[in-house]
Amino acid sequence: STTLLNCKSWSGAIMSWPARPVEPNVADHYFDLGLDRTATTRDVKLAYMRLAKVHHPDKRGTAEQVDAFQFRKVNEAYEILKDPVARAAYDYAYPQVFQLWCKYNTELADWQAENKVNEQRKAQEKKSKLRAQERQEREEQEQQKYNEEQTRKAQEAKWRREEKMRESRLRQKQAEEHRAREEEQRMREEQEARRVKEQEQKFQQERAKAEMERKERERQEATREKWQVAQERERQQRLRAQEQQAAAAAERLRQHHEKEAADAEAKCQNSYSTQKAQKDKQRAVDEERLKQEQASKLRREERQREADERSRRVMQEAQARQREVAEQKLRLQAPDPTTPKKRPYPDTPDSTPNRPTKTPKVKTDNLALRNSMARIHAREKHMQALLDLGGMGHEAELMGVYIELGWDRMAAKGKCDFCKRNIQLEMYVCPSGESKACTPCKMKFCYYSSC
């Protein structure tokens, strides 16, 4: 409050500053020339010449107003003081003029001092205002710096939080990717382990299957070797029998020739009747021998036919047993047609005429049954070919021989019932069971002992 009163008092003082004192109407010529009242005319002239050189506008180089005013004062003082009459009149009134100028100088000094004090106060107030303004600006700058620092710290904190969040998200993403990679690696390892296990199982199965096939081939090979040995033994026996028969026939022929030679020799001695009787007797003997040989051949053929018939019956019985076993197996696997199913129509009085009547029917279009019937059909063709060659004992002659099965050839697309391969150009259909086969599968059935 005291400061506020002081400021108000200073403001009032400033507003009530005194006006500048007014100069007297008569100039102090002695003071203007820098002389006193005792100065001579020569002193006046010298002072004038000295001051005129100092205050002359041409000497100053510029036509300033102050210099011209001082030069005019010097000229006016010189004009008055160089004239004795004018100087005398001026000297007569000079005491009053001097007092006026002394009073003016005193008032001017007081006014200048007070004006100086006021100027100093004004400068001090201006300085104070400047300091206050500078302090306020400095405070504002400091506040701005503080605010900027706070803003910068807030931005840095926000940036650090965002950076932490980004790092956290990045770590989380990396952890998820790492878990995903581990899971993928684990799945790949499990798949690889399953694949290796499946391959090993498949290899074991294939090896077991190959071992079974090898054993089966060995068994078949042993059976075939035994059969071939038996066939070779029978062939050797037949050859020996044929050789014995040929030797006996040759011996009989030799004896016959010898007898004919003896008879020829006897012809010369015996008569024609005797020769004819001998010839008739020999002819009868030859006819009897020929009849015996024909009867023996007929008996052998009859025994061979009986053996072939027995072989055919045995083969047919085996095929019938195989067919019965296959049909029984399929009947066990097929659903029971007599099993009651859901009725397609409600049991209402007016729905009976609309209900279709169906008889239960066993489904015969079964893949296993059709394939079994195709193999039986191929075996029958093989047996027929064997019988055409003479029956049992001629199997070696059919090894590697192509046997026509009589399957229908069709230009169509489908799927092989044996190897499950897609057929693009042509297929073969068995007339018994209508099994569809590709060319390689059909060709396998066309060779003896392949089915």
Q: How far apart are CA 100 and CA 77, in angstroms?
A: 17
Handedness of CA 236, 237, 239, 240 (dihedral sign): positive
Which residues make Cβ contacts (< 8 Å) with residue 71, sequence separation at least 6? 52, 55, 56, 57
Which residues make Cβ contacts (< 8 Å) with residue 304, sequence separation at least 6? 390, 391
The pLDDT of residue 176? 92
Q: What is the pLDDT of residues 182-234, one digit of tens each?
A: 999 999 999 999 989 888 888 888 888 888 888 888 888 888 788 878 777 88
Bridge partners (DSSP) listed for residue 184: none
Whether this prediction's pTM lies above 0.85 is answered by: no
Nearest Cα residue to 448 out of 347, 358, 379, 364: 379
Q: How far apart are CA 69 and CA 84, in angstroms?
A: 25
* SS3 assignment for the chain: CHHHHHHHHHHHHHHCCCCCCCCCCCCCHHHHHCCCCCCCHHHHHHHHHHHHHHHCHHHHCCCCHHHHHHHHHHHHHHHHHHCHHHHHHHHHCHHHHHHHHHHHHHHHHHHHHHHHHHHHHHHHHHHHHHHHHHHHHHHHHHHHHHHHHHHHHHHHHHHHHHHHHHHHHHHHHHHHHHHHHHHHHHHHHHHHHHHHHHHHHHHHHHHHHHHHHHHHHHHHHHHHHHHHHHHHHHHHHHHHHHHHHHHHHHHHHHHHHHHHHHHHHHHHHCCHHHHHHHHHHHHHHHHHHHHHHHHHHHHHHHHHHHHHHHHHHHHHHHHHHHHHHHHHHHHHHCCCCCCCCCCCCCCCHHHCCCCCCCCCCCCCCCHHHHHHHHHHHHHHHHHHHHHHHCCCCCHHHHCCCECCCCCEEECCCEECCCCCCEECCCEEECCCCCCEECHHHHHHHCECCCC
Q: How far apart are CA 347 and CA 349, in angstroms?
A: 7
The pLDDT of residue 154? 92
Which residues make Cβ contacts (< 8 Å) with residue 179, sequence separation at least 6? none
Domain ranges of the chain: 19-152, 290-332+365-451
Q: Which residues of the chain have pLDDT under 50?
A: 1-15, 63-66, 339-364
The CATH number of 19-152 is: 1.10.287.110
Q: How far apart are CA 73 and CA 133, in angstroms?
A: 47
The pLDDT of residue 451? 63
The pLDDT of residue 293? 82
